[in-house]
Amino acid sequence: MSELISRNPANGEELGRAPIYTPEQVRAAVQAARGAQTGWGQASLRQRLQELKRLSRVLVEQADAIARLIAVEQGKNQIEAYGEVMTVLELLHFYQRNAARILRPRSVSPRLGALRSHRIIPRPRGVVGVISPWNYPVTLSMEPLIAALVAGNAVVLKPSEYTSLIGLKIGELARRAELPDGLVQVVTGDASTGQALIAAGIDKLVFTGSVANGRKVAALAGEYLVPLTLELGGKDAAIVLADADLEQAAEGILWGALLNAGQACLAVERIYVEQAVAEAFIQKLTEKAARLRVGPSTDPNHDVCAITTEAQQNILKQQVMEARAKGAQVLLGGDPLPGPGRFFPPTILVNVNDEMSVMREETFGPILPVRVVRDAEEAIRLTNASPYGLTASLWTRDLRRGRQLLTRLEVGDAALNDHGTSSGHAEIGWGGCKASGYGKTRGEEGLREMVIWQHISWPRLGGQLMGFPYSAKKVNLVRTLIKVLFGNWQERLSLFRSRERKG
C-alpha cells in the first residue's frame, strides 16, 4: 500500500506515515459505516447525546496531545492549536443543550389538508462524508462530524494529505470514546481517495477547500446526486472609515489577517481605508506588524508560525513578486525567511491596484495589501466586486451607520469593529455565498443540514377531496374553495348571497 509522509513544516522532520486508501478500501469503509449507522440512527436523540458525552471527556483528556499534534503537523501557534480543541468542545456542549429543540418534530396544519394530520420529522441521512482541509484540521473535521453523529448519521472522514496524522488521531478519539464500531471511519489519502469517497455511495458530503477543488468536487458529486455543503474560502475585506478608532482597527485587522499565519478562509486579505486617515492607519498597522514574532510553534511566544505547504509558500512569493513588478511598494516583509522550515513574515503592501492577484485571488498567508479609497461607497463597491463572499469587517465609531453599511456587504459574515467574529461560536452557522460556497456548518443550520425533513400524515376526519371519480360537483366545490380561501371580500359576499338565494 502506498503511503503519505507527514512532515513538520517548521523543520521538515518526518512525523509519521499514513496509508493511501484505495477505492476498494474506501467503499469498504462506507459499507462498515452504513452497518453501524443502522443502530445509531434508530437510537433516540437522548441516547446519542449521552454516548457523545464520552467524546467530550476524551477531548478534554487528550487536549494536550491533540494541540501538540496540530502544532507540529499543521504548524500553528500553540494557543491557536488549543483553540481548535476548545471550539469543538463548545460545539458538543451546544448540541447537548440544544439538539432536542433544533431537531424537534413539529405538527403542521395546512388549510388544504385539513382532513388529515400532518407532522414534519427529522430522519438521518445515512453516511456523511467529510473531506477536510489542512489549515484547521481538527475544527473543520470534527464540526461536521459531530453534527452528523448527533443527527443519527455515520461518518467517513477523509483528512487532508498534509494532516493525515491528525485525521488518524480523530479516529482514535472515537475509539477512546467507545462509540459504536464502524460509526466513525477515517480514510487517509490524496485527491483520488476523496474522489473514491464521493463515488462510494455516501448520502451527503461536507467539503472544505479551495474554489478550484470545490468545483471538481461539485461536478463529481453531481454525477452521483450527492447533496453538498461547500466552504471554499474567500478574499475577505476590511474597510476602515475615516472616523474609526485607528488603534483598535490596526490591532483587530492585524489579528484577523495573521491568525494561523494568514492560513484561514476568514483571514483579512484586502484592506480598504478612507484617504483622510490612510497615512496614519498604515503607519500604525506597519508598526504593530513589525513587532510580531515569527518562528516555530515549539515556542509559545511566536505569533506567526509556519506555512504548512510548499505550494502555499510559492503562492505567497508569486503574489508579492507580481505586485512589486506592477508597482506595489513593500513596507514590511515581502520575502520568505531562510530555512529550515517554511516561514513568511508579516508583509504589508501599498500602492496596490485591482489588477494585481494579491487583490483578486485568495492568498492564504500573512500578506496585507492596503488600498486607499475615496469613501465608504467605493470601499463597499470594491468589496462586493469580488467573486468571493465569506466574511468582511467594517471599522467606524458610528455604530448606527456601521450596522446599516454591514447589510450591504455581500458576505456570509459581516462584523463591525471586529473580524470573523462568528468563527468560534457554536451557536452561529458558518458559511459564505457566491464562490465561497453554500450551505452551513455549525450552529442550528449545520445540524439541520444533517437530516432529511420527512413529512408524514394520517387520516383525521375521513374523506378525500381530490380522489376519483371526478364530477361536476367536485369542480364546483374546488371553484367555491378558491373564492372562499383566496378571493376578496366582494367575491366572498357575492358567493354568500348566491348561496342564500339558492337556499
Closest CA to 54 of 86, 92, 95: 92
Question: Domains of the chain (ranges plus CATH)?
Answer: 20-102+124-232+441-453 (3.40.605.10), 236-426 (3.40.309.10), 467-502 (no CATH)
Distances (CA, A) of 236 to 211, 385, 390, 413: 14, 12, 7, 10
Any residues with CB less than 8 A from the CB of 479 and at least 6 apart, and which?
Answer: none
Cβ burial 325-336 (10 Å sphere, 16+ → b, else e)? eeebebbbbbeb
Cβ neighbours around 380 below 10 Å, total: 21
The phi and psi torsions of 331 (rounded to 5 degrees) equal -85, -25
pLDDT tens across the length of the chain (503 residues):
599 999 999 999 999 999 999 999 999 999 999 999 999 999 999 999 999 999 999 999 999 999 999 999 999 999 999 999 999 999 999 999 999 999 999 999 998 888 899 999 999 999 999 999 999 999 999 999 999 999 999 999 999 999 999 999 999 999 999 999 999 999 999 999 999 999 999 999 999 999 999 999 999 999 999 999 999 989 999 999 999 999 999 999 999 999 999 999 999 999 999 999 999 999 999 999 999 999 999 999 999 999 999 999 999 999 999 999 999 999 999 999 998 999 999 999 999 999 999 999 999 999 999 999 999 999 999 999 999 999 999 999 999 999 999 999 999 999 999 998 777 899 999 999 999 999 999 999 999 999 999 999 999 876 666 788 899 988 988 888 888 889 888 878 887 777 767 66
Residue 274 belongs to what H/E stretch?
A: strand 268-274
The dihedral region occupied by 10, where left means phi > 0, alpha psi between -120 and 50, and beta the remainder, is: alpha
- DSSP labels, 30-92: HHHHHHHHHHHHHS-HHHHHHHHHHHHHHHHHTHHHHHHHIIIII---HHHHHHHHHHHHHHH
pTM across the whole model:
0.95
Cβ burial 147-160 (10 Å sphere, 16+ → b, else e)? bbbbbbbbbbbbbb
- Point out the residues that are catalytic: 231, 265
Are residues 117 and 457 in contact, defined by beta-carbon separation less than 8 angstroms? yes
Stated length of the chain: 503
Joined together, the cell numbers standing for residue 378 give 467605493
Residue 366 belongs to what H/E stretch?
A: none
Grid cell 499565519 is found at 261
